[in-house]
Structure 1
Amino acid sequence: MVVSSIVPVVTQYLDLAAGIAARVRDGELGPGAELPAVRVAAEEAGTTPSTVARAYRHLADHGVITQADRRRARVAAGGPLAARQLLDEGRVFRLAGSDDPALQVVLDGLDASVRVVGARGSFPALRALVRGEADGAAIHLRHRCGDYNTPFARALLRGRDPHLLHLWRREQGLIVPPGNPLAITTPSDLHGRRVARREPGSGTRVLLDQLVHEAGATPGPLSADYGSHFEIALAVAAGAADVGLGVRAAAADLELDFVPLTWESYDVVLPESALGAAGPLVAALSEPAVRETITAMPGYDLAATATIERIAERVSHR
């Protein structure tokens, strides 16, 4: 009997904190908004000042609010995202998407809070996201307008408040044997060559198809498609292919030569409702050790890593 009467009191501060976090998440309390003084909030909630103080401390520990000495608590600048993360605590973030050596570094350091689902590749990842089989899709797709990823997020997550979690920019180019014996320097040089290529639906395969089409080149036939950038590099290193399109880091791993072609944006597309669950991934991207490891890999630019961008949806004039 004693235990049953104590449990509600012990957890009451969590319920109070969750209620405030929900108001922050929903925009009712915006960044900078003042929370009531502890005694006032206790009277309004019909509870004790110590319970309110504990709820405020819990919110502050999770970055939802800030508390300065002798000043009222306020919603933190990053409060809305922190509130989503707090309310989604314990929810697994299901990530589908494209192969990337640096992303594997991030995922290797995460626990079960982030789970990779589905087949690799930008198109399969977007399909999984639309079908509700994934919470986020890691993609690197260049739209015909020249923009990366944003047009696809806007179109496929219409009505779901699309966002981009920026991972990094990475360098794509032609992976060739040491010394580049066939003197391959441009996509037009791929005509008739054995080109190691990713599977259909991957962003790198889409980029390869775009480049050879624009160059008017027709690569020679290959009997298989490859599932990762490292496999592309392996095919070139083993002599199974003359050249492959892939990231610079994959070429460096096998001491192959690399002909740079383009820098591309590599992002996670996700709806607003999944931002909270993505918290552990965002935190991992900000870890100094993770960033140092990726920075040491050639062909990566982390200037915008871990930033989140809301994608404005187009207004229909019909």
Structure 2
Amino acid sequence: MIPDPLPTLEPRVRERRQGLGVGASDLARQVGISRQALHKIEVGDSVPGTLLAFRLAAALHCRVDDLFTLRGPARPPTLRARSDAPPSHGPLPPGTRVALAHLSDPAGGEDLLAVPLPAGAFHVPADATVIATAPDGTLSAQPLSPTHEVLAAAARTAVLTGCDPALDLLVTHAARLDPSARVILRAASSLPALRAVAQGQAHAAGLHLWDAASGTSNLPFTRRALGPATLFTLWTWEQGLLLAPGNPRGVRGPADLGRADVRLATREPGSGSRLLLDSWLRAAGLPHPPAVAVARSPLEAASLVASGQADAAPGPRSAALAAGLAFVPLQTERFDLAVPDEHARHPGVLALLGAARSAAFRADLHALGGYDAAQAGEVWQRSLPGTDPPLSLEAQP
């Protein structure tokens, strides 16, 4: 909690001295201090001791109370913002550290978005701390730096959402490319990431959503969810089955996931890997088998297999490499960045795209294994609203 500010002394020495026509050097000499020390007292940078205060009052023919007034603590500045968390998550507790970004609210609420920082995010500086939450969900927050500096930083802050851990690497390269721009990464599966952009909770979404009906990734979902937008290539990757080292169950493809001796860890509805898994199972003529666990990210899926809690899980080759797992490739898939036209010139978005096009990022990503970033940062498709009904982001296709 931020401690309450204490009262301070408001000096009126200069006003009294100038009113009597006494020079600063003369007064300083009378009371036995330097002119510099007197200046600090007059501007409030120094509080005199009791004896010196009485000497000043005697020299200026007044009472000490005429020279110094106890001033109550100034009310700390506050900012109004909205939380990026859905109402069902409840209000953010007072004292929560938040980063701030300027992002217009389609619903007409506050344009300042508060993104809560994890309790263990010691390396991420906060812009403000939450004071309270109003019944309508609006936050009041106390800035941790001068308000004008916080607002200037918020205007250059982009919120990126997506699930691939390689987005962390992209954000790091973007910070190197343009230190004045900031990107806040919020982890979310592909469909919730797209929903966040549509609802004014993010500037851009990294997504991989396979549409089996059209045989196209990302474009059908983006076209139905957003207004005019652009899909930029970030990378392509191999998706398939994450398996225990050495593949002791002998899993060769989706058909083996129906076996009683194969424990499946699945992904949550709305994730790109879940869409792929469902399409693979349909093609194999299998229903979705019971799952021993539901992973919230590719690395969590890999961890479940590596720890022996599951025998197989859908995910990218990069996750298998990171966890030392066996891998059965099934499909090469696009991972794109969806950016609405209104955010296309945002400094944070431009930094992301510039970083994606840089040789340093492409080499760094290639070194991880499982990624092809040859066209990273390049325009792939324009997405314009079509005649199809809007995508229901609450329901799963």
**Deviation, structure 1 residue 241:** 0.4
Structure 1 residues 196 and 279, CA, compared in 2 at 3 Å: closer, same or farther? same
Q: What's the counterpart of residue 142 of structure 1?
A: 210
Q: Which whole-Å CA distance do the structure 2 matches of 1:298 and 1:148 have between them?
A: 22
- 2:228 aligned to 147, 158, 161, which one? 161
Could you tell me which runs of 5 or more consecutive residues in structure 1 were left unpaired when the two chains were aligned: 1-87
Matched, 1:122 2:190: yes
TM-score, reference length from structure 1: 0.66
Matched, 1:298 2:365: no
Q: CA contact under 8 A between 2:229 and 2:341: conserved in structure 1?
A: yes
SS in 2 for 1:225: strand
Structure 1 residues 293 and 147, CA, compared in 2 at 3 Å: closer, same or farther? same
**Deviation, structure 1 residue 110:** 4.0
Q: What's the counterpart of residue 189 of structure 1?
A: 256
**Root mean square deviation, CA, Å:** 2.3
2:351 is aligned with what amino acid?
Answer: P
Q: Which whole-Å CA distance do the structure 1 matches of 2:302 and 2:386 have between them?
A: 44
**Deviation, structure 1 residue 104:** 2.0
Residue-pair matches, total:
226
Q: CA contact under 8 A between 1:166 and 1:267: conserved in structure 2?
A: yes
Q: What's the counterpart of residue 95 of structure 1?
A: 160
> 1:240-251 maps to which residues of 2 (within 5 A)?
240-251=309-320
**Deviation, structure 1 residue 219:** 5.5
1:246 is aligned with what amino acid?
Answer: G
Matched, 1:221 2:290: yes
SS in 2 for 1:224: strand
Structure 1 residues 181 and 306, CA, compared in 2 at 3 Å: closer, same or farther? same
Matched, 1:105 2:153: no
Q: Give deviations 1:108-160, integer Å, cap 9, x for gaps.
A: 3444621123x510111111111111111111111121111111222222xx3
Q: Give deviations 1:250-299, integer Å, cap 9, x for gaps.
A: 11122211111001010011211111111010122123222111111222
- 2:360 aligned to 289, 298, 318, which one? 289
- 1:174 aligned to 234, 238, 241, which one? 241
Matched, 1:279 2:350: yes
Q: Which whole-Å CA distance do the structure 1 matches of 2:315 and 2:191 have between them?
A: 17
Q: What's the counterpart of residue 332 of structure 2?
A: 263
Q: Give deviations 1:233-262, integer Å, cap 9, x for gaps.
A: 111111100111111111112221111100
Q: CA contact under 8 A between 1:165 and 1:306: conserved in structure 2?
A: yes
Q: Give deviations 1:5-38, integer Å, cap 9, x for gaps.
A: xxxxxxxxxxxxxxxxxxxxxxxxxxxxxxxxxx
2:215 is aligned with what amino acid?
Answer: G
Q: Which whole-Å CA distance do the structure 2 matches of 1:300 and 1:315 have between them?
A: 32
Q: CA contact under 8 A between 1:141 and 1:149: conserved in structure 2?
A: yes
Q: CA contact under 8 A between 1:153 and 1:311: conserved in structure 2?
A: no
**Deviation, structure 1 residue 312:** 5.3
Structure with the bigger RCO (C-alpha within 8 Å, sep 6+) is 1
SS in 2 for 1:115: strand
Q: Which whole-Å CA distance do the structure 2 matches of 1:299 and 1:251 have between them?
A: 9
2:317 is aligned with what amino acid?
Answer: R
2:156 is aligned with what amino acid?
Answer: R
TM-score, reference length from structure 2: 0.53
Higher-Rg structure is: 2
Identity of aligned residues (%): 38
SS in 1 for 2:329: strand
- 2:378 aligned to 301, 307, 318, which one? 307
Q: CA contact under 8 A between 1:198 and 1:204: conserved in structure 2?
A: yes
Structure 1 residues 131 and 234, CA, compared in 2 at 3 Å: closer, same or farther? same
Q: Which whole-Å CA distance do the structure 1 matches of 2:384 and 2:288 have between them?
A: 39
**Deviation, structure 1 residue 310:** 4.6
Could you tell me which runs of 5 or more consecutive residues in structure 2 were left unpaired when the two chains were aligned: 1-152, 176-180, 388-397
Q: CA contact under 8 A between 1:194 and 1:219: conserved in structure 2?
A: no
SS in 2 for 1:213: helix
Q: Which whole-Å CA distance do the structure 1 matches of 2:342 and 2:380 have between them?
A: 14
SS in 1 for 2:286: coil
Q: Which has the higher helix share?
A: 1
SS in 1 for 2:206: strand
